[in-house]
Amino acid sequence: MTFSFTSEQQTFLDAVRRFADLRVAPRAAEMDASDEYPRELVAEAAALGLMGACVSKQHGGGGRDYVTYAAAIEIVSAASATLAVILTVNNSLVAETIEQFGSALHHETWLGPLARGQAIGAFALSEADAGSDAANQQTVARLDDRGYVINGRKIWVANATVADVVIVFAATQPDTRGRGISAFLVPLDAKGLTRVPSPESLGVRGLGCVDLELGDVHVDADALLGEPGRGFRVAMRALEGGRIAIAAQALGVGQAALEEALRYARTRHAFGQPIGNFQAIQFQLSDIATELSAARMLTWKAADTRDRAPRVSLEAAMAKLQASEAAHRAADRAMQILASAGYRRGSLVERLFRDVRAAEIYQGTSEVQRMIIAEHLLAD
């Protein structure tokens, strides 16, 4: 077991840090205020190899290990949680899923462009009545002589304002829940597919989230990703990688909160001295740093396991649960340390406080992660 990066990994992470500090951080506040998808930054991230970091080189990706990817996502997220989420969707939920379950045609048509950033991917699992209960899919795909006809509505589809392709989950055997769901690769310009604006969100603004209305969308049979009726398995596998990436994304926000709290503790004076001299402040800083460090170890352990083992659902659930809750506490404590300076609209901590909250919700709430962990514990 080693706890250091190789020089090759470090060189890549240094380049990611330069990009995050020089290009992303200065744009983060504007992205949050405008709620606009950062197309230009996504293209720059792609040039760095951040759109298909762990996709094999043979398919146009970076061929990187998951620990390096997780470390890179954390660095980007410390500058902008929004850009980090955009990258995790394209990498973990879409490109890696196509690499794992896709046919040679899918690899040729979509994987290379997605991994190189020439195309953008989205993942449409959630529906109005299928959030935590994702098996309750009401979107239906009916087989006909030309392929499948898909009808339904997906909600909260990140990247979808600009995406070229979306993985759509739909019931091919309605009312059989997880046993009768299939996954499809659907181009966003398919006839009958409409983007519907969704309500504005509290944080991670600029994600390009919209609802997708599917009205008699025709796809060929070769649009099936994986086997018919086994799409729920495809979704769950995708979410294993996705949850590790979200753990890393949450850590980035937590780390940014720690750095801002440290800066303020050194510079803000009260009672004739820096507030960092007060033990009440010091203990909060200590707790933030320790909890983030512990969560980072869990995240990197999950990432390392993903490189070695076929399944990583337990490790991914633990990492996401721990990192998202530690990061939430970090942002909350940072707000307390900055007090009114943090509570001010437009302050960095105010944005971090809003951004961090989503990590306990998307790709499975904290309650869902606890359910997965308990299922593993009780099965042993």
Which C-beta is closer to ligand FAD: that of 251 or that of 337?
251
Among 110, 232, 353, 362, binds ligand FAD (CB under 6 A): 362
Part in contact with ligand FAD (CB under 6 A); list of ranges 26-34, 186-194, 332-340, 361-369: 361-369
181 binds ligand FAD (CB under 6 A): no
Site for ligand FAD in 196-215 (CB under 6 A): 201, 204, 207, 209
Nearest distance, CB of residue 39 and ligand FAD, angstroms: 17
Part in contact with ligand FAD (CB under 6 A); list of ranges 18-26, 57-65, 117-125, 170-178: 117-125
375 binds ligand FAD (CB under 6 A): no
Nearest distance, CB of residue 363 and ligand FAD, angstroms: 6
Part in contact with ligand FAD (CB under 6 A); list of ranges 124-132, 268-276, 333-341, 345-353: 124-132
The C-alpha atoms of residue 326 and residue 91 are separated, in whole angstroms, by 24
Which C-beta is closer to ligand FAD: that of 254 or that of 276?
254
Part in contact with ligand FAD (CB under 6 A); list of ranges 54-62, 75-83, 119-127, 305-313: 119-127
The site that binds ligand FAD (CB under 6 A) totals a number of residues, namely: 22
365 binds ligand FAD (CB under 6 A): yes
Among 8, 30, 367, 375, binds ligand FAD (CB under 6 A): 367
| Binding interface with ligand FAD (CB under 6 A) | 89, 123-126, 131-132, 156-158, 201, 204, 207, 209, 358, 361-365, 367-368
